[in-house]
Structure 1
Amino acid sequence: MRARSKTHSSQPQQATAAKTSDPRSIAPPIVHSNPVLDRTYRLMHRGDYQAAMGILQSAGRDPSIRNALGVCLLRLGRPADAVAVFRQFVLAPGSVSERSDLSKHYKRNFALALLMNGSPSGALDVLRETRQPDHPAAIRIRDTVKQWEKTLSWLRRLDWKLNRIEPSNCQVPIDFEPGELEDSGLEVHQGQESELVDDERKVRRRKHAKREDAGTGHQEQQRQRNVNPTFRATGPATEAGNRTSDDVAGPTLSV
């Protein structure tokens, strides 16, 4: 990721606080094998982010610990501090490139922190580098940017579309609880799966169903050919395969 330093250092005068609902109404607390994170996640589930931060700040530098700390800051409406936390472990030391060995959800959280800190261009740059455009969390971030675009004046919108320059003191409101504590494919909740896991599985099922439908259609055509040698499948994809030897040879010339 080659994001502009100006983009990453954008500091709006007043950060846009997240509009969060009661987290207990969204999903049960995440269960984690690490006792520190397990305790922290339970505190966060109750909305006690200050207490969770008190544990995390002295719990070490592991990426999962730093990620949870960054999520706490996002949910407390402190995106500038969250950007600083995510930058420390998401970016390679002494570089503006993202580390390739990290889980994608850390990078999505970094993108969201940039967005909440008034840098939608930086957020989209980071999000693009995750190479998971169909992930529900990535879609949600892009949709938030699109909604923000609609609030711009025509001149500001033109500058954004052409030059990717956001207005000074840019604020992008969000209407969901920010931050992923665990990769959505690995989250384990008490009693039910997370909303993101369910959404991602639905996307995968639809793609799998399309592949199965395509394969079934091909198998049926092959079966028809085996049963009836004169069977001619319809459609442009099979037109070449339906041509007879007379079609290829052309009309017979009389001598």
Structure 2
Amino acid sequence: MKNDIFHSITTGRIRLFSALLMVAVMALAACSLKVGGVLMVEKEKNSSELNGSVEQKKQAFFARMKPLVEAENERILEQREDLLAMRSSRNLGWFERRTLQTLAEEYEVEIGDEPGQKEVQALLMRVDAVPVEMALVQAANESSWGESRFAVEGNNYFGQWCYSKGCGIVPEQRSAGATHEVRRFDNARDSVRAYMNNINTTRAYVPFRKLREEQRKRKQELDAVHLALGLKSYSERGMAYVKTIQAMIRSNRKLIASS
């Protein structure tokens, strides 16, 4: 009898303990779920805020640089219109020849005292716009979205070099024996103009200009992704650099359009 009573009491205590343990476990699980849910929401919120801040930073950069690129393209296209008008003229007057000589100086084309259609055609190859998307993502890439030392201290957004002492900023990691400096500009507009002049005149970018001329002949809109194929010489990385610029153009198109 005593054994039966003892067994009943013991069994009851075990069941009570088990029930209390189950309640505790369930409460702990509910608490953990709640905390975990809060943490997950907080983590997603932080991630969203981070992405938002990156987008805002990029859009601010494009908004600052895009008007400068567009203004320089507008200036160049006005020069191009003058050349196209000359191309349809058999005899160039004094004013037209003078205009040709001025443009030849800016775009580094050799020209004689009596320039004609040959010189007009040579200049048309160079006097043309650079796609806005291409210029903007190159500026972003070369200047770390406007935060590089050279952009902040020297308004240099495209990594342009110069070779006379004191012409710019000496790179901290310049190779022994190298003499180049990173060119310093008075403002961002001058950096954009120098970049476009570099693209339109330097021998290294003949492939770019040929691709652009082909699109003009076909009466196509200038395609930034396709024309970026002509930038292989812009970086020691070669085609890897081209692919980087093409990827940046594709991924930032909407931001550039809305800036």
Give the TM-score category using the shorter length: under 0.3
Give the TM-score normalised by the residue count of structure 1: 0.24
Q: Which structure carries more relative contact order (alpha carbon 8 Å, separation 6+)? A: 1
Q: Which structure is larger by alpha-carbon Rg, 1 or 2?
A: 2
